[in-house]
Structure 1
Amino acid sequence: MRAIQTKFARCLLASLIGLACGLAYLGTVEALAADQNRQPIAIQFSFDRPVNAGVAPIILAMTDGLFGSEGLAVATNVVAGSPEAISRVASGDSEFALVDLNALIRFRDQHPSSVKAVFILFNKAPYAIVARKSRGIHALSDIEGKTLGVAEGDLSLLLWPALAHHNGIKLTSVKQRQMSPAVREPMLSAGQVDAVTGFSYLSAVNLRDRGVPADDLAVLRFADYGCEAYGFAVIVNPAFAARRPEAVRGFLRALTAGTSLAIREPAHAVDEVLDHMDDGSRDLELERLHTVINDNILTSEVKRNGIGAVDPERLERSIDQVGEDVKFSRRPSASDIFDDSFLPPRGDRLIN
C-alpha cells in the first residue's frame, strides 16, 4: 500500500511539473507573439530647414535602423524656421524637432510653454560673419566701417549686439544691408557687400562652391570671439515625454549612436543624406559635414562630457547673452531650457 501511495505521489508530482513547464512555455510563446505584434511608436519629427549634411546624425538614425531598434517609427517634415518647429512641438503636432536652442530661449520668454531641449546636437552655435579678406577684413575688429549683409530671420544677427559689445565694436560703425537669404552669398561673391552674417557650415562652404577662393574668405565664428551659445538641439513635446518617457530615452539612445556613426563614417553619412535632398553635391555635403563635426559637434566640451549634454553654467551665461538683445520679460533659467533626465549615461555618450 505504501509503495502504491509513493508511486501515486511521484506520478502526481511529475504531472504538476509537466503542467508548470507547459504553462511556462505557453507564457513564453504568448510573450514572444505579443512582442512581435507590438506596433512601433509613431514619432513625428520636424526639421526647421531643408535637410543638408549638418543633420546627418538624425538621418543615419533613421536609415541605419537605430530608431527602429528602439521600437520607434520616425517620420519627418520640414518647416519654415525654428519658431514654427517649436510651435509644432508645443502644440503636439510633432513629438520632436531640431531647432536653434537660442530660438527656444526667446520662445520660452514670449510664450507660456514647458517645451524643453533634451539633446544638444551642435555644442557650439554655427553663427559666423563670413567676409572677404580682399575687402580688408581679417579679424572681427576690421568689420567697423564696412557693410554687413544680413538676411531676414537670420538667427546669428540676434546675438550680434552682444558679440559687438563683448569685443568693443561700435554697432553704429557697421552699416547693415537687408537682403533675402537667397542672395546673401551671391552678393558677397559679387562684392556688393563686405561681409554677411550666417552659419559657417552653410555660407562659407557655399561661397567656396561658388568659386570664391578659400584664402580670400575670413570665417569669423562667434564662438571664437566670446559667444557662449549652444546651437541646434532636439526638443520634445512635454505631454509626450510624460506619457512615453522610455520612448524619449530610446530616441536619444538612437540619436547618440547616429552622431557617433556620422563622426566615424562621414562618407556613409553623406550618402544617406543625399537620398533625402532634392539636389545635392556629394563633395559639397562631405565638406559641410566635416566642417560641422570639427567646429560644432566634436568640441573639447563634448570630448570631456559626452554627446548631447550641456554645461549648466555655460548655458546660464549664454542666456544672459541672448538677453542683451531680447530684454527678457521673465528670464528663463538653464533648467527651464534643458532637461538632461532622458540622456543615456555619460559613459555611453563619450566619443572613443
Structure 2
Amino acid sequence: MLSRRHLTWTAFGAALLLSGMSLPAFAQATDIKFTLDWRFEGPAAGFLLAQDNGYFAEEGLNVTFDIGNGSVEVIPRVATGAYQMGFGDINSLIKFLDEDPSQPIEAVMMVYDKPVFSVIGRKSQGITDDPKSLEGKKLGAPPPDGAFAQWPAFVEAAGIDTSDITLESIGFPVREPMLASGDVDGVFGFAFSVILNLKANGVPDEDISTILFADHGLNLYGNAVMVNETFAEENPDAVQGVLRALAKGFADAVADPAAGAAAVLARNETLNIDTETARLTMANDMNIRTPYVVENGFGDVDPERLAASIETLKLSMGLKGNVTADDVFDAQYLPPAAERMLP
C-alpha cells in the first residue's frame, strides 16, 4: 500500500509532467580527493573541521582526506592527478616547477605563513639554539621531510660548515626514538610534531633545543594548499568552494583548539587529546596566525616576499630560473580577505 507521502509526491510529479515542466534536478556533489602531508594530528584540524562542520557540504563538495608521508611527496600526487588537491611544501613545489615548468600544479592558499622547518636536538648532546652547534653532529634526516628539503638553503643562510656533519637517512617512525636514545644528536622535522613526540618518548622539555630555520635567515613560506591545474581550470567553482570552506575550518581551529583536536582524535583514537590540543595551539601560534595573517587575512601571500624566497632558493638550491612567483601561487580562487580573517 502506498503511503500518503508517496501518493502526494507521485501526484505532484504527474502534475509537473502534464504541465510540461520537468522534475526538479538534484545537484550531484563534486568529489575531491585531498592528500594531506602527514597523518591526522593537531595541525590538520582546520581541514577536518571544515568537513565535520559541514562547510564542504554547503559548497556542494564531497571532500575525502588521505594521510601523507611527508610534505614533499604531496607534489607528485597532485601533479599527476592522483589527487585533485593537497597540502605540501611550497618551496619543494618551486623546485619541482623549476625542473619542469609544464607540470600542472600550483599553490592556491598559504597555510604556514611561517614555515615549521627545524632541526630539533638535545642540549645534553651539544645542540643549542645556535645553528653553529650542529657542526660536528650526526643528524637524522627522513628523505621525504620538508625540513630536510630546505637543508641546503638553511646551510647557505646560516653560514654552517657542513664538512664534519653526518646526515643519516632515517624513517619517520624511528625519528624521535632515535633522538631519544642518543643514536643521533638532532633530527629534521616540523617543530610542533617532533617536540611533542620527543616528550612522549621521555625526553624532558629542558633537554630539547629547537633551531627554527625561519629565525636564522631563511625567510621562506611553508606548506600551502595545492591544486592540479587541469582540475582547477575545469572546476573553478569547486576550488573556490574548497578554499571558502577551509578559511572557515581554520578559523574554527584557531578559535577552539580543543574542538580541533577532538576532530583529529575522531580519526586517530590512538592519540592523546591534550597532546594534540597542545600541538595545534603551537602550530596556530607559531606558523598559522602570524602578525601578517592577523593584518591581511589567512591564505594569501606577499608577492614580493615570495619572489625574494625564490631568489634565495636560486642561490641555495641551484634553481635554473624557470619559475616566477606567479607560476607558483595563484590567488584567484581565494575568497575576499574579509572572509579569511582569523579570530
What is the TM-score when the length of structure 1 is the normalising length?
0.85
Q: What residue number does 1:130 align with?
A: 120
Cα RMSD for the two superposed structures = 2.0
CA distance in 2, matches of 1:158, 1:186: 21
Deviations 1:11-33 (A, max 9, x none): xxxxxxxxxxxxxxx9xxx8994
Q: CA deviation at 1:79?
A: 4.3
- Answer yes or no: is 1:211 the counterpart of 2:196: no
Q: CA deviation at 1:294?
A: 0.9
1:139-158 mapped onto 2 (5 Å cutoff)? 139-158=130-149
Of 78-87 and 64-73, deviating more is 78-87
Q: What residue number does 1:221 align with?
A: 212
- Match 1:61 to one of 40, 45, 50: 50
Letter in structure 1 aligned against 2:154: L
Distance 1:196 1:83, change over 3 A: closer
Deviations 1:269-288 (A, max 9, x none): 11111112262111221111
Task: Give the SS at the match of 2:280.
Answer: helix
Deviations 1:224-282 (A, max 9, x none): 11212211111112122222212211111100000000000111111111112262111
Q: CA deviation at 1:113?
A: 1.2
Q: CA deviation at 1:84?
A: 4.2
Q: CA deviation at 1:317?
A: 2.0
Distance 1:32 1:228, change over 3 A: farther
Aligned length: 322
Higher radius of gyration, 1 or 2: 1
Q: CA deviation at 1:155?
A: 2.4
Q: What residue number does 1:239 align with?
A: 230
Q: CA deviation at 1:207?
A: 0.4
Deviations 1:290-349 (A, max 9, x none): 111111101111112110011111112222333334322343111110000111111221
Q: What residue number does 2:6 align with?
A: none
CA distance in 2, matches of 1:148, 1:101: 24
- Match 2:38 to one of 49, 52, 55: 49
- Answer yes or no: is 1:89 the counterpart of 2:78: yes
Distance 1:205 1:32, change over 3 A: farther
Q: What residue number does 1:319 align with?
A: 310
Q: More helix by proportion, 1 or 2?
A: 1
CA distance in 1, matches of 2:296, 2:195: 29
- Answer yes or no: is 1:78 the counterpart of 2:67: yes
Judge conservation of contact 1:158–1:322 (CA < 8 Å) in 2: no
Judge conservation of contact 2:104–2:230 (CA < 8 Å) in 1: no
CA distance in 2, matches of 1:31, 1:86: 44
Deviations 1:152-185 (A, max 9, x none): 3332123222222222221214232332222221
Judge conservation of contact 1:49–1:81 (CA < 8 Å) in 2: yes
CA distance in 2, matches of 1:31, 1:58: 38
Q: CA deviation at 1:73?
A: 1.1
Judge conservation of contact 2:153–2:317 (CA < 8 Å) in 1: no
Q: What residue number does 1:258 align with?
A: 249
Distance 1:305 1:31, change over 3 A: farther
Judge conservation of contact 2:108–2:331 (CA < 8 Å) in 1: yes
What is the TM-score when the length of structure 2 is the normalising length?
0.88
Q: What residue number does 1:181 align with?
A: 172
Judge conservation of contact 2:85–2:226 (CA < 8 Å) in 1: yes
CA distance in 2, matches of 1:237, 1:175: 37
For structure 2, which runs of at least 5 residues remain unmatched after alignment? Answer: 1-15
Judge conservation of contact 1:158–1:325 (CA < 8 Å) in 2: no
CA distance in 2, matches of 1:263, 1:32: 44
Q: CA deviation at 1:99?
A: 1.3
CA distance in 1, matches of 2:275, 2:152: 32
Deviations 1:131-155 (A, max 9, x none): 1112232222222222222223332
CA distance in 2, matches of 1:140, 1:84: 27
Distance 1:325 1:158, change over 3 A: farther
Quote the sequence identity (%): 37
